[in-house]
Amino acid sequence: MTRIETSVRALACLAFFAPTAPGVADTVTDFYKGKTISMIVASGPGGGYDLYARTLVRHYPRHIPGSPNIVIQYLPGGGGIVAANNVFAVAPRDGSGMGMLSSSTFLLAAVGDPNTKFDNLKFTFIGNMNEEVDTCSVWHTSGINSADDLKTREVIVGTAGAGSNSHTFPVGMNSVLGLKFKPIAGYQGGTPIRVTAMERGELQGMCGVFVSTVQSQLTRQLAGGQLKVILQMGLSRHPDFKDVPNALEMAKDPNGRAALELLFAQLALGRPVLGPPDIPADRAAALQKAFDATMDDPQFRAEAEKTRVELRWFGAARMKEVMERMEAAPKPVKDDVRKLLNVQ
Give the integer Cα–Cα distance in Å for 105 and 116. 7
Tell whether 1 is covered by a domain: no
Residues 251 and 169 grouped into a single domain = yes
Domain boundary among 251, 266, 281: 266
CATH number, position 309: 3.40.190.150
Nearest to 43 by CA among 210, 241, 290: 210
CATH number, position 140: 3.40.190.10
Tell whether 321 is covered by a domain: yes
The total number of structural domains in the chain stands at: 2
Q: What integer is the mean pLDDT of 318-325?
A: 95
Mean pLDDT (the chain, rounded): 90
Q: What integer is the mean pLDDT of 174-187?
A: 93
pTM of the model: 0.79
**Cβ proximity of 66 and 28 under 8 Å:** yes
Tell whether 334 is covered by a domain: yes
Residues 293 and 280 grouped into a single domain = yes
Residues 150 and 123 grouped into a single domain = no
Residues 154 and 248 grouped into a single domain = yes
Domain of 106, in residue numbers? 26-131+268-340
Find the range with the poorest average confidence among 88-97, 248-257, 276-285, 297-306: 248-257
pLDDT, position 188 = 80
Residue 17: is its pLDDT beyond 60?
no
Residues 221 and 140 grouped into a single domain = yes
Per-residue pLDDT of 271-289, as tens digits, reads 999 999 999 999 999 999 9
Domain boundary among 231, 266, 301: 266
Residues 145 and 259 grouped into a single domain = yes
pLDDT category of residue 168 using cuts at 50, 70 and 90: confident
Residues 245 and 138 grouped into a single domain = yes
Strand order in the sheet with 124-128: 69-74, 36-41, 97-100, 272-275, 124-128, 314-315
Per-residue pLDDT of 25-75, as tens digits, reads 689 999 999 999 999 999 889 888 999 999 999 999 999 999 999 999 999
Biggest CA–CA distance in the chain, Å, is: 90
Domain boundary among 204, 233, 266: 266
Q: What integer is the mean pLDDT of 220-243?
A: 93
